[in-house]
Amino acid sequence: MSEAPATGGKRPNPYAKRLMWPVLVLAALIAVNIAVTGFDFIVPEVNDGRLGGAFVNILRRSAPLLLIALGMTLVIATKGIDLSVGAVYAIGAAIACQMIIGAEDQTATGLVLGAVALALAVTAAIGAWNGVMVAHFGVQPIVATLILMIAGRGIAQLVTGGQIPKVQDASPFTELGRGELLTVPVPIWIAALVLAALALLTRRTALGMLLESVGGNPEASRLAGIRAKGITVLVYLVCALCAGLAGLIGAANLGSADANNGGLWIELDAILAVVIGGTALLGGRFFLLGTTIGVVIIGTLEDTIINVGLSSQWQFTAKAIVVFIVALLQSPGFRAWVLKPFKRRPAPAPAEEAMSK
């Protein structure tokens, strides 16, 4: 934070403003839950040396979505989109589980590390392929990634042979989803580390500026000497890698990989989280912290529906209503329209308005 003035004194200001509305909505959701279930909702508890409680559970379950949404934020910053993340999630989970159940001793650490490495390598390769299609072959991002969105689950099914491979509970692989480190659940660690790493990489180096520049105007960036193609391939690779990691956490949590349902529609939730967080789909400016809050909003919402006592049929409608509210709050036009009757215009206002025209 001490370095903030170096990047320009005014920079944190619009950032905080962008974050304000999602934070308010999240606070409102948490307030509703506390009102219904009491302060137990927000206060963490320790079970068997492991942090638990409703809100910690929400954070733990949100980890896969957060990983994917962070990758998606970077892709969207380059004016792209990655629809294949849900399928890549399934592929990552399928490869790791299938490799582990194929071995004689499922508890061997080397085997688990190998399975994780293989899954991540394959998903990274898939991401690189997406990036090459977009950057070098000029295929539109939505088309390039749609192909794998449709075919990817088929690939995952081929890997698992149409079955749902179940890993033994004793295998250290399950620690990725169920374990804890210093009482904090492992998925939360992983998500926090990836968030920190991406934030540092994009905010403490020139990479973030290059990304925004590529998304804002690819041609001008190229003329300015930025290797736009390399950066594009890199963000798709990172996005798929995040999706693969998310798949591993999801599979480890359940001890199984479901090629059909693992990460189903997670791409849409990820895009929602990015938008809730204030990143425009037009590319350019991106907000990793905003995305994080968006993810927590989505995760909290699912619990809220159960806590408030709404039936399952309400799930999608409630989600739609909250996203609608956030989108409206973020629209300056809507805010001005709502606040108009309450605003007593000071004398110099008309002059300001005229000037702005």
Partner 1 sequence: MKTLTIPTFLKGEPPVLKKVLAGIGAGALLFGLTACGGGDGEGGADEGLVVGFAQVGAESAWRTANSTSVQDAAAADDRIAELKFVDAQQEQERQISAIRDFITQQVDVIVLAPVVETGWTDVLQEAEDAGIPVILADRGIEAADEDLYTTRLGSDFVAEGRSAGEWAVQTFADDADGTKILELQGTTGSAPANDRNAGFFEVLDAEGLNYELVDSQSGNFTAEEGKAVMETFITTHALDGIDLLYAHNDEMGLGAIQAIEEAGFKPGEDIQIIIVDGSKAGFQAGVDGKLNYIVECNPVFGEQLMDVVVQVANGDDVEKFTPVEEGVFDATQFEAELPNRQF
Residues in the site for partner 1, rule: CB under 8 A?
A: 37, 40-41, 47-48, 50, 52-54, 57, 61, 153, 157, 162-164, 166, 178, 250, 253-256, 258-262, 302-303, 306-307, 309, 311-313, 315
CB 336 within 8 A of CB 328: no
Contacts of 186 (CB under 8 A, 6+ apart): 175, 176, 177, 178, 179, 180, 249
Closest among 265, 244, 250 to 60, alpha carbons compared: 250
Which one, 41 or 236, has the nearer CB to partner 1?
A: 41
Closest approach of Cβ 300 to partner 1, in Å?
Answer: 11
Closest approach of Cβ 92 to partner 1, in Å?
Answer: 15
Which one, 89 or 286, has the nearer CB to partner 1?
A: 89
Closest approach of Cβ 158 to partner 1, in Å?
Answer: 12
The residue with tokens 């620690």 is 175
Closest approach of Cβ 346 to partner 1, in Å?
Answer: 49
As a whole number of angstroms, the distance between CA 4 and CA 1 comes to: 5
Which one, 80 or 255, has the nearer CB to partner 1?
A: 255
As a whole number of angstroms, the distance between CA 12 and CA 5 comes to: 9
Which one, 22 or 255, has the nearer CB to partner 1?
A: 255
Computed over its alpha carbons, how large is the radius of gyration of the chain?
Answer: 22
Kind plus residue range of the DSSP H or E element containing 352: helix 349-356
Closest approach of Cβ 109 to partner 1, in Å?
Answer: 22
Which one, 309 or 348, has the nearer CB to partner 1?
A: 309
Closest approach of Cβ 133 to partner 1, in Å?
Answer: 19
As a whole number of angstroms, the distance between CA 154 and CA 171 comes to: 27
Which one, 100 or 233, has the nearer CB to partner 1?
A: 100
Closest approach of Cβ 197 to partner 1, in Å?
Answer: 27
Which one, 65 or 293, has the nearer CB to partner 1?
A: 65
Which one, 211 or 251, has the nearer CB to partner 1?
A: 251
Which one, 47 or 109, has the nearer CB to partner 1?
A: 47
Which one, 218 or 255, has the nearer CB to partner 1?
A: 255
Burial 292-310 (b: 16+ CB within 10 A, else e): bbbbbbbbbbbbbbebeee
Closest approach of Cβ 61 to partner 1, in Å?
Answer: 6
As a whole number of angstroms, the distance between CA 174 and CA 69 comes to: 23
Distances (CA, A) of 233 to 78, 84, 215, 305: 10, 15, 13, 39
DSSP class of 108: -
Closest approach of Cβ 303 to partner 1, in Å?
Answer: 5
DSSP class of 41: G
Distance, C-alpha 13 to centroid of its chain: 24
Closest among 299, 286, 297 to 326, alpha carbons compared: 297
Closest approach of Cβ 239 to partner 1, in Å?
Answer: 22
Task: Give the 3-state secondary structure of residue 53.
Answer: coil
Distances (CA, A) of 53 to 59, 120, 300: 10, 31, 13
